Structure 1
């Protein structure tokens, strides 16, 4: 019934939690959402079950995101969420697992300590903290141990992390709090301003995934969004086009492109030349917005490519890090 210890990697994201287990790959991917009883503090639901409650809970239950902008906003809820996900992924264990958890590159030591403490309280016997760009690069298949520059742009729910990596470490990096959640907010604000309709975050996310774009589509697409009319207070449907959403997303997308430009301007010339030859690698759910790679290529002048399995790159890289770190064959270990 009880298995042995396990080495696992966790992508503790603002929008989703992904868990990687050695020899099995990604075994869990669920929203970073917790439903809590407002009076007792009891956790009612976690992950997908809690997400289904967003915008639909009675007054005594609230569905929250315990992580905001890549850092812990509600420590107790984060600990309970982690404990639930770890148990769901690996089951009961006599030996506690060794866990690597990723954090945005711009977090403080205090914020790193909070993640480490929450992971220990959730059941880890040993915790390693690694930065998201390093994990994303490993998960994307980049050999970060080589003496050449690689640029990684990881666009998550709460942060966009940009880094130039060489010889196993970060040379230049920048983390901005403009990412997937901001795209959702921009869509909701646009509908409120242009169509006088109020939508929830689930609807905004659906619009983003369905017709969202960073580059003009050759053939525009449409979808119907449902919300509440701000004048009458009654339900209302509105037909949206991808051209409208392109306009809605222009500002946050431009912020991301500008941050990439800033990092390149700080990059040493030799590494910048490597990046010009090798291109920019995009990871994270936000990288899947239609045309973002084309826009970056056009604006920056360097080819941008989306990594295979972009959403899971950070989790896979985190898992590979802990897998190699505790490998008996240390010669195989390029990351430690």
Structure 2
């Protein structure tokens, strides 16, 4: 398949392909059912995260630092799923495997941007829980709406610039061999390995970015829960249980985001390539649809907010019918 502008060799002028060919799910039997499943997941993701954002925006009781972070997580889940699932459906279900070089860079940028922000936001939520439990008397002084908004803005800028640098280095590569991407989206690793000029900067980025956007936030989260655990040992058993309940929803979010990625990466080459691709795509698609469900069912403030909305709706119906 030769869709390259020309053939070139190392140290030649930069040559970009007209198109990349995404070939991630080739050879997997009955894969069309998986695409239909991801369509269903995407619809639920849209509905769930829009509902969470609506509830937080409309209920003054949820205008707190914790729920500012939850709103940001819902926004990142919504945007991340939109960057990931519709192109996946278009590519594989509708057999549109070709993607232009510019569109591929754009897809890569937004998928990695929102994965980074999901990871960072989970770290922000762990910071919120750590201060609330370890320094309860100073919580309102340390964690304010303004401080969370500033932290969130800084993380958006940092993630945006880091991923932009990644895309810029890809744009400096020359592609004169294959243009087939062995992944389910425009993944950075499979793309830079196709280059025929020096790809050392992209190789370094491919090694450092997972550390920066996944494992450093995870280590921070683990550190905050070590502090939380030490603080819980110093309080009464009844208060300890109450404090632990405020962390359960966050711990579940952390588990469903990090565990699939961690297990897949830990198994490495022991996993078949097709199994690895399915696992990583599920790890990208499932957390955004599960997060709203977890916050709706596991968070008392959110449940109370839903009950208030339901009561207002019933009153409105009663008034309308009289």
Relative contact order, CA 8 A, sep 6+: which one is greater?
Answer: 2
TM-score exceeds 0.5 = no
| Higher-helix-fraction structure | 2
Q: Which has the higher strand share?
A: 1
Query: Please, what TM-score do these two structures have when normalized by structure 2?
Result: 0.29
TM-score by length of 1: 0.28
